[in-house]
Structure 1
C-alpha cells in the first residue's frame, strides 16, 4: 500500500549583478599644430573640466559613468556601469505516492534542481533590468557630453589658431566672440 507524502525544499542565492554599456567615438579636431602640441592643448582643456590623467588618457568619473579621452588619438569612450547585490529565495513543494525511500530522494533532487533553475532565471531577469538601467544612464549622459566635448574642441581649436598665428608673424588684431564661437586674427607677416 502506498503512502502520500509531501516534500518541501527551500533555496536561496546571493549574487552581485553587474551590467555595463559603452559608446566609443572620435573627436573631430583640425590638425592646426603638430599632433603632440594639439594633444597638450586638449589635455589642458580637459583638465580644466575636471579630467585627470590616468595611463596616458584623460578620465573623469561621474557616478556610474566614466568618460575616457585619449588626447593623442582623440578617441572618446563613455562607459556606464551598474552593480546590484540581490538575495533571491524560493520554495517548492512536491507530493509523492510511494513508500519513503529512493523515490523520495529523487523527488527532492528534482524539486531542488527546478527551484535552482527558477532562481537563476530570476537573477537573469534582474541582470537584464540592470542592463537597461545602465544603457538608459548612458543615453542621458551622452547628450550632455556631446555638448561639453564640442566646447572643448572649440577651445582647443581657438588656442591652436592663436599659436599658429603667432608663429606666422606679429598679431595685429584679435577679436573673439565666445557666444557664437567666432575668432578673427589679423597677422602681419
Structure 2
C-alpha cells in the first residue's frame, strides 16, 4: 500500500545588488582662445562650482549616488548614477510524494531545491530591474537640474574667453554685460 508524504523546503539568500546608468555628451564651447587656454578657463569655472581636479586632469563632482565628470581638454561630460542595495529573499515550496512510486524523498527534496533556486534567481532579477530603474530615474532627474548649470558654465567660459581675446587685440575701453539678455559688449582700441 502506498503512503503519501509532504515535504516543505525553504531557501533564503542575501545578495548585494548594484545598478548604474550613464550618459555622455560634449560641451559646445567656441574656440575663441587656443584649446589649452579654453581648458584652463573651463577648469577654473568648474572649480568655482564644486568640481575637484583628478590626477588625469578631469574634473569630478559627486552628488550622492551621482557623479559628474568633465574632461576640460575634450569637453566631454559624463553623468553617472549608481545605486546599491543588499536584498534578502526567501522562497518556500511544498511537494507531495509517495513512498512506493516516483522519486524518493531525497530526490524530491533536491528537485524542489533546484526549483527554489530558480525562483530565487527570478526574484533577484526582478529586484535588479527595479534597482536599474531607480538608477535611471535618478539620472534623468539630475540631468534636468544639471543642464542649466552646464549652460551657465559654457556661457561664463565664453564671456571670459572673449574678454581675454579683446585684451590681446588692444586696449579695452569698455565692457558692458546684460545678464537678462546675455549680451556682452566690449569696446577695444586697436
Tell me the TM-score normalized by structure 2.
0.96
Give per-residue Cα distances to partners, 1:64-97, cap 9 Å, x unaligned: 1110000000000001111111011111110101
Secondary structure of residue in 2 paired with 1:73: coil
Cα displacement string for residues 19-75 of structure 1 (whole angstroms, at most 9, x for unaligned residues): 111110000000000010100000000000000011211000101111000000000
Aligned-partner Cα distance in 2 for 1:145–1:88: 36
1:110-168 deviation per Cα after TM superposition (whole angstroms, max 9, x unaligned): 10010111011011101101111111111111111111000000000000000000000
Deviation at residue 176 of structure 1 after TM alignment: 1.1
How far apart in 2 are the matches of 1:104 and 1:144?
60
- For 2:39, the equivalent position in structure 1 comes to 39
Change (3 A) 1:181 1:166: same
Q: In the alignment, is residue 158 of structure 1 matched against residue 169 of structure 2? A: no
Q: Within 5 A, what are the aligned runs for 1:1-189?
A: 1-54=1-54, 55-99=56-100, 103-189=104-190
Counterpart secondary structure, 1:179: coil
**What is the alpha-carbon distance in structure 2 between the residues aligned to residue 126 and residue 168 of structure 1?**
61
Distance 2:106 2:145 in 1: 59
Distance in 2, Cα, partners of 1:139 & 1:102: 53
Unaligned 5+ runs, structure 1: none
Note the C-alpha offset of 1:178: 2.3
How far did 1:180 drift?
2.4
Structure 2 residue ranges without an equivalent (≥5): none
Question: How many pairs does the alignment contain?
Answer: 189
Q: 1:14 to 1:100 in 2, by over 3 A?
A: farther
RMSD between superposed Cα atoms in Å: 1.4
* Divergent runs of 4+, >2 A: 99-102
